[in-house]
Amino acid sequence: MPRSLLAITDVDRAEVARLLRVANRFREVMARDIKKVPTLRGRTIVNLFFEASTRTATSFELAGKRLSADVISIKGKGSSLEKGESLKDTVLTLASYAPDVLVIRHQSAGACALAGRYTDAAVINAGDGKHAHPTQALLDLYTVEREVGPIDGLHVAFVGDIAHSRVARSGIAGFRMMGAKVSVVGPPTLLPRHAEESLGVDVSTDIADIADADVVYVLRMQLERMGPGRLVPSLREYAATYGVSHARLRPGQRVMHAGPINRGVEIADDLADDPGTLIVPQAANGMIVRMAVLYDLIAAPEGASEQRSALGDAVAV
């Protein structure tokens, strides 16, 4: 594992597999009455969320607390960013308190890499613009492996607003790394240019092409990133043409969505509530996967066997 996690491609297939195994160990801890281990006692984690978040912010905070770290959570609103302080000066200030990890979400692609220049702390990218969301990819891989089965050989279809989606970018790279076939389906205006070559996926503009997929990954319409120009005629027409509903699925297909959901736009209301989807497990698995990432960056010794032994000690307490 590198000192920071800025993109899913910072880790290789073996490291992803190891992280998912560590997450499984933390799942066992979470099944206990006392859901806390001393693994990161005396360590400091600063969560810096410059952009809105429910799932990532909450699960990172809880993950740090369950590992007994000192956790400080700062949101853009209410911080000195509102007075015009730059990202550099914010990071330099926080770095002076000697944190072990900065978890950063930012609206600009590349912000987490930039922040890493001004701190010795490990940096975890919790979502930067439309660039990357590596811990989302890890929790998605964990969820599919647990709920569907081995990822190698599965077909995963990402549907909708691929162009603006960091979830898709990281997910596509992650699923491909683990041996899945990946395709993307969406309107031409919401597909990145040269998607086939740049992402290494099959590309279609026909929603019927989700039929072959084992897993249908529905993407949020990222309206906040689309700018003033209309990229779809209307949300109603988008829903009619690309919205995923029971009628568009065949039996056995599993549905994912990273959230937050636009009900009735990219996913039908009753499908979003269907307990057969992976949406709730995705949210739940976020915490244990983020515990695994924090553990690996801060506390795990070099080498898988040593690490297993250290984690065994940590979770036995």
Interface pick for ligand CP out of 9, 54, 86, 93 (rule CB under 6 A): 54
Nearest approach in angstroms of CB 92 to ligand CP is 26
Nearest approach in angstroms of CB 138 to ligand CP is 12
Task: Establish if 73 lies at the interface with ligand CP (CB under 6 A).
Answer: no
Span near ligand CP by CB under 6 A; candidates 32-40, 52-60, 69-77, 194-202: 52-60
Task: Establish if 219 lies at the interface with ligand CP (CB under 6 A).
Answer: no
Span near ligand CP by CB under 6 A; candidates 8-16, 55-63, 232-240, 289-297: 55-63
Per-residue interface string for the shown chain with ligand CP, residues 137-176, x marking contact by CB under 6 A: ----------------------------------------
Q: Are 289 and 263 in contact (CB under 8 A)?
A: no
Q: Give the three-class secondary structure for 45.
A: strand
Span near ligand CP by CB under 6 A; candidates 50-58, 68-76, 188-196, 222-230: 50-58
Task: Establish if 76 lies at the interface with ligand CP (CB under 6 A).
Answer: no
Span near ligand CP by CB under 6 A; candidates 69-77, 174-182, 256-264, 305-313: 256-264
Backbone phi, psi, residue 47, to 5°: -100, 120
DSSP state letters, 200-267? ISEEES-GGGGGG-SEEEEPP--GGGS-SS-SSS-HHHHHHHH-B-GGG--TT-EEE--S---BTTTB
Task: Establish if 200 lies at the interface with ligand CP (CB under 6 A).
Answer: no
CA end-to-end span of the chain = 25
Span near ligand CP by CB under 6 A; candidates 19-27, 51-59, 245-253, 299-307: 51-59
Nearest approach in angstroms of CB 185 to ligand CP is 20
Residue whose C-alpha is closest to residue 18's, from 283, 282, 296, 315? 296
Largest CA distance in the chain: 57
Nearer to ligand CP, 27 or 220 (CB): 220
Whole-angstrom distance, CA of residue 21 vs CA of residue 53 = 26
Interface pick for ligand CP out of 21, 55, 146, 263 (rule CB under 6 A): 55
CA distances from 240 to 156, 215, 248, 277 (A): 22, 21, 11, 21
Interface pick for ligand CP out of 149, 179, 200, 260 (rule CB under 6 A): 260
Query: Residue 199 carries which DSSP code?
Result: I
Structure tokens at 299: 């506390």
Note the residues at the interface with ligand CP (CB under 6 A).
53-57, 127, 136, 258-260
